[in-house]
A and B are shown apart, each in its own frame.
Chain A
């Protein structure tokens, strides 16, 4: 074996080691945190909160907050896939809280209108009773 082929072998070994270390590192270091999903969840919770979901859909809003906390913990544990899913679940839950709140409010406005009408009808019947 001559010197040239030895050097060549060395460089091959180096390349192999380099590749291996890249693979190992790649397995350890995870993807970046799902910043966009986390931000979207936070925004959805804040929107739901401002729509008074705390009053009309508190279970959903609470669940959204719990999921967001879990997502943040998953980021700390470098479990980015879990973090992303939890963040998306949190956002969906918060959006559900907003949707339910709007639903309750819309129903309440209608109930108020119905009450107004039935008061009118009752008054009318009472008046015509007196006239008889």
Chain B
């Protein structure tokens, strides 16, 4: 036998041995199967990923769901562990779907706002056209109708002027924002309500708070498409847990007040931030006073949020 031939024989033997061994092994071990329910989670995830309205709207949550589904699909002898993984995968997919749907709804507001503006403009145009029609009719009817025609023309001009005035709405908005003393930020308009709203350690609103809050109510009534996040903050004096609870209750108080003034609760979200995120150092009385505050963040209108 030549050395080359010998090598070939050796390789062949090894291959045969490997094939036999793997055949034996796979005969013994039961074929790997996916845990129950994993395929259902996969199906739900695929539905989400193939929906053009939702696929890219919650990327982080969808990625997390995808990872959880992969883990759930691994064959697992431990039934409890397999069931746990499937449960987690299912919920992660549901969370991703809910987040994507929420984002989709928010994105649709641009379109909804445009539709409303169009309806508003249409109605003004019609008013103007109707007035013009009256002018023409009056002219045809003769000179004794001239006074009426002039009057109708006046109405037409007024209606046209009303249509033009939508350009002035931006200026009006700026006046409202100035009245609120709101500061624009990435998250929206931030209105800071100082600690004069509350007694030390208490969460119920003081009588003097009504003035600053009524301006907020006026603004929210005028701009019904804006939602509001109310965040309570405290200084660093005292127990951290107590401060957290206090900031939550103060934010809730402001929310309740706004709701009582007729602002839809659906537009209001309150949360407590405790001592986190101070706006001034806590080592002086004035710094602490600045830190005891409630911030009201008014969302930017959908069109401007693009």
A and B from one assembly?
Answer: yes
Contacts of B94 in A (CB 8 A): 96, 99
Interchain CB contact (< 8 A) of B98 among A82, A100, A121: A100
Q: CB-nearest residue of chain A relative to B78?
A: A81
B6: interface (CB < 8 Å): no
Contacts of A106 in B (CB 8 A): 101-102, 105-106
- Shortest CB-to-CB span from B54 to chain A, Å, is 11
If A89-B87, A92-B88 touch, whether A120 touches B98 (CB-CB below 8 Å) is: no
B264: interface (CB < 8 Å): yes
Contacts of A110 in B (CB 8 A): 105, 108-109, 112
B267: interface (CB < 8 Å): yes
> Are A120 and B99 in contact, CB atoms less than 8 angstroms apart?
no
Q: CB-nearest residue of chain A relative to B244?
A: A46
If A50-B270, A110-B108, A121-B119 touch, whether A96 touches B95 (CB-CB below 8 Å) is: yes
Chain B residues with a Cβ closer than 8 Å to the other chain, count = 40
Contact with B along A102-120 (1 / 0, CB 8 A): 1101111110111011001
Chain A residues with a Cβ closer than 8 Å to the other chain, count = 33
B115: interface (CB < 8 Å): yes
Q: CB-nearest residue of chain B relative to A122?
A: B119
If A96-B91, A128-B130 touch, whether A50 touches B248 (CB-CB below 8 Å) is: yes
- Shortest CB-to-CB span from B97 to chain A, Å, is 8
Cross-chain pair count, CB within 8 angstroms: 91
A95: interface (CB < 8 Å): yes
**Contact segment of B17-25, B121-129, B172-180:** B121-129
A93: interface (CB < 8 Å): yes
A31: interface (CB < 8 Å): no
A2: interface (CB < 8 Å): no
Give A121 to B119 CA distance when docked, in angstroms. 6
Contacts of A128 in B (CB 8 A): 126, 130
A40: interface (CB < 8 Å): no
B92: interface (CB < 8 Å): yes
A13: interface (CB < 8 Å): no
A51: interface (CB < 8 Å): yes
Give A51 to B102 CA distance when docked, in angstroms. 14
Binding site for B on A (CB under 8 A): 50-52, 82, 85, 88-89, 92-93, 95-96, 99-100, 102-103, 105-110, 112-114, 116-117, 120-121, 123-124, 127-128, 131
Which 7 A-B pairs give the minimum distances between C-beta atoms?
Answer: A99-B98, A106-B105, A92-B91, A124-B123, A120-B119, A117-B116, A113-B112
Chain A to chain B contacts (Cβ below 8 Å), 10 pairs: A99-B61, A99-B102, A102-B98, A102-B102, A109-B105, A109-B225, A109-B267, A110-B109, A112-B264, A121-B119
